[in-house]
């Protein structure tokens, strides 16, 4: 395969976004160097659910059969709200039952696959590309010249010696705490963060010997959620998300038991006892946080961000991998058109050249991020949770359409179609009714 450039494109980060970008560029005959501090497979806290559109991007990288064999398909999402207990007047304690609403994907099945297995599969596809090479190291410094860039990184065996790599372009796919993001705006103050008590954290555990559900199950608790993703016939992954104000771990040895204790319905649905957790929990434990990361710019001369490095709101809707893979595809397509032109003109690509990528990413993220903020509103308000789930019980097709919008398969404006007005009115009625009931109980 003949390379289209003597200088490679440098990709910082060997996660899904970085490897996907690298493979797509190599398929277009661009040489790529992938730099990460460790060799794949790389583990990370993750919901581990690949939505149908994400599988379409992965199908461009290589045959999916092997990946599908080490995962488990799911056909939709189900929301579970716990039973609500409250005092009403002199009648003592009243209890309302747990609620559940389920929606089926309208665009085919998704795939639950462990992060390490996805990483291994992507690494295998990348190794089959002769134009991709891997370097183990930590990217430390970025120097921009008129027609090329210099990326300096240190290798684990010699931290005192920096390796200098001349490259055509630099792609930052190095996650929430991106080093590359600081190179784009070095004088920018740290991105605006949520207040300390509103910061969100996540943790992933894996369980064996538990029947896998047919859908991704989302269980709500006070300011917390648990996401159950099927990973095999008797294997599941559970991702916990919480606000700092809702849950503060006592320690690593007890965090899993403490989290499960907050989700009684989850324990019942899995038919497990929270006591002997060690008997069926995998030894792996991955945590991440705070989650919210805002970027004012994702491109600059000679460098772009992709995936979580380009900004992240929250994992509550499970669209992180989908957005990362599609962003990688958009970036690879944009660079393919721009790199050759910039090389012939003897210059680096600048932010103006990448404006198509920036606009496309903003369009891609608009509705999913809007729905993410809506889901975060539900997370801290049980009254809204019960109103939403109660409505979706009666309107499962509307729920499916919301999932379509969340996956980027439809515009959110489609939810305003007249056929959905009854569902919207019903949802508003549920919210008003439950808020009124809550106020009357307080009175």
Q: Which residue has the higher pLDDT, 416 or 272?
A: 416
My answer on whether 50 and 63 are in the same domain is: yes
In a domain, 373, yes or no: no
Structure tokens at 9: 């494109």
Residue 198 is predicted with a pLDDT of 63
Across 334-360, average pLDDT: 93
Which three-class secondary structure state does DSSP give residue 136? strand
Domain-terminating residue out of 228, 253, 288:
288
Residue 189 is predicted with a pLDDT of 46
Residue 419 is predicted with a pLDDT of 83
My answer on whether 126 and 180 are in the same domain is: yes
Residue 86 is predicted with a pLDDT of 44
My answer on whether 17 and 159 are in the same domain is: yes
My answer on whether 49 and 88 are in the same domain is: no
In a domain, 353, yes or no: yes
In a domain, 372, yes or no: no
Residue 355 is predicted with a pLDDT of 96
Task: Summarize pLDDT for 389-410 with one digit per residue, the tens.
Answer: 988 998 999 999 999 999 999 9
The domain that holds 334 is classified in CATH as 3.50.50.60
Residue 48 is predicted with a pLDDT of 94
- The model's confidence at residue 280, banded by pLDDT at 50, 70 and 90, is low
- The model's confidence at residue 128, banded by pLDDT at 50, 70 and 90, is very high
Domain-terminating residue out of 230, 262, 288:
288
Across 195-211, average pLDDT: 80
Task: Summarize pLDDT for 58-105 with one digit per residue, the tens.
Answer: 999 999 999 999 999 999 999 999 876 444 443 334 455 688 999 999
Task: Summarize pLDDT for 238-278 with one digit per residue, the tens.
Answer: 999 998 888 887 776 678 888 888 898 888 777 655 444 55
My answer on whether 278 and 302 are in the same domain is: no
Residue 282 is predicted with a pLDDT of 59
Residue 92 is predicted with a pLDDT of 38
End-to-end CA distance of the chain, in Å? 75
My answer on whether 419 and 321 are in the same domain is: no
Residue 440 is predicted with a pLDDT of 67
* Residue ranges making up the domain that contains 257: 196-288
My answer on whether 84 and 120 are in the same domain is: no
Percent of the chain whose pLDDT exceeds 90: 60
Residue 423 is predicted with a pLDDT of 80
Question: Under a CB-based contact definition with an 8 Å cutoff, are residues 181 and 313 in contact?
Answer: no
Q: Is the dihedral of CA 266, 114, 77, 408 positive or negative?
A: positive
| Dihedrals phi, psi of 356, to nearest 5 degrees | -65, -40
My answer on whether 146 and 217 are in the same domain is: no
Q: What secondary structure letter does DSSP report for 428?
A: H
Question: What's the per-residue H, E or C state across 303-324?
Answer: EEECHHHHCECCCCCCCHHHHH
Question: Under a CB-based contact definition with an 8 Å cutoff, are residues 201 and 288 in contact?
Answer: yes
Across 341-366, average pLDDT: 94
In a domain, 3, yes or no: no
My answer on whether 279 and 354 are in the same domain is: no
Residue 228 has pLDDT above 50, yes or no: yes
Across 281-302, average pLDDT: 83
Residue 429 has pLDDT above 70, yes or no: yes
Residue 16 has pLDDT above 70, yes or no: yes
My answer on whether 305 and 338 are in the same domain is: yes
- Count of structural domains within the chain: 3
Lowest-confidence segment of 109-113, 206-210, 249-253, 291-295 by average pLDDT: 249-253
In a domain, 259, yes or no: yes
Cα–Cα nearest to 20, from 303, 324, 323, 335: 324
My answer on whether 170 and 300 are in the same domain is: yes
In a domain, 375, yes or no: no
Overall pTM > 0.85? yes
Domain-terminating residue out of 241, 269, 288:
288
Contacts of 38 (CB under 8 A, 6+ apart): 14, 136
My answer on whether 322 and 332 are in the same domain is: yes
């Amino acid at each position: 395969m003949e390379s289209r450039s003597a200088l490679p494109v440098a990709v910082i980060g060997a996660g899904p976004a970085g490897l996907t970008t690298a493979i797509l560029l190599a398929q277009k005959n661009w040489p790529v160097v992938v730099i990460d501090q460790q060799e794949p497979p790389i583990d990370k806290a993750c919901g581990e659910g690949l939505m149908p559109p994400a599988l379409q991007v992965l199908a461009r990288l290589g045959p999916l059969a092997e990946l599908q064999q080490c995962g488990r398909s799911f056909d939709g999402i189900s929301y579970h709200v716990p039973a609500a207990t409250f005092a009403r007047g002199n009648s003592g304690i009243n209890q309302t039952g747990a609620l559940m609403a389920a929606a089926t994907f309208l665009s085919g099945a998704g795939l639950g696959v462990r992060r390490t297995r996805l990483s291994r599969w992507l690494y295998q596809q990348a190794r089959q590309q002769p134009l991709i090479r891997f370097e183990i190291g930590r990217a430390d410094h970025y120097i921009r010249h008129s027609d090329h860039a210099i990326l300096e990184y240190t290798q684990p065996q010699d931290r005192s010696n920096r390796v200098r790599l001349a490259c055509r372009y630099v792609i930052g796919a190095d996650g929430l705490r991106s080093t590359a993001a600081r190179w784009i705006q070095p004088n920018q103050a740290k991105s605006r963060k949520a207040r300390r008590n509103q910061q969100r954290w996540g943790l992933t555990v894996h369980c064996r010997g538990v029947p896998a559900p047919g859908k991704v199950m989302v269980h709500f608790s006070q300011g917390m959620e648990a996401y159950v993703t099927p990973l095999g016939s008797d294997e599941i992954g559970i991702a916990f998300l919480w606000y700092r104000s809702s849950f503060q771990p006592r320690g690593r040895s007890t965090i899993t038991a403490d989290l499960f204790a907050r989700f009684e319905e989850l324990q019942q649905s899995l038919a497990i006892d929270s006591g002997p957790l060690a008997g069926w929990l995998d030894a792996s434990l991955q945590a991440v946080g705070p989650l919210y990361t805002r970027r004012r710019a994702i491109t600059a001369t000679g460098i772009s961000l992709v995936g979580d490095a380009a900004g992240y709101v929250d994992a509550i809707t499970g669209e992180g991998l989908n957005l990362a893979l599609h962003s990688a595809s958009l970036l690879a397509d944009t660079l393919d058109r721009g790199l050759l032109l910039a090389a012939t003109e003897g210059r680096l690509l600048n932010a103006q050249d990448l404006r198509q990528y920036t606009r496309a990413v903003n369009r891609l993220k608009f509705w999913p991020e809007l729905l993410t903020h809506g889901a975060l509103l539900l997370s801290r308000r049980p009254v809204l949770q019960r109103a939403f789930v109660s409505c979706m019980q009666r309107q499962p097709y509307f729920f499916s359409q919301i999932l379509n919008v969340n996956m980027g398969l439809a515009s959110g404006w489609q939810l305003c179609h007249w056929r959905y007005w009854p569902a919207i009115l019903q949802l508003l009625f549920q919210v008003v009714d439950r808020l009124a009931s809550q106020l009357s109980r307080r009175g």
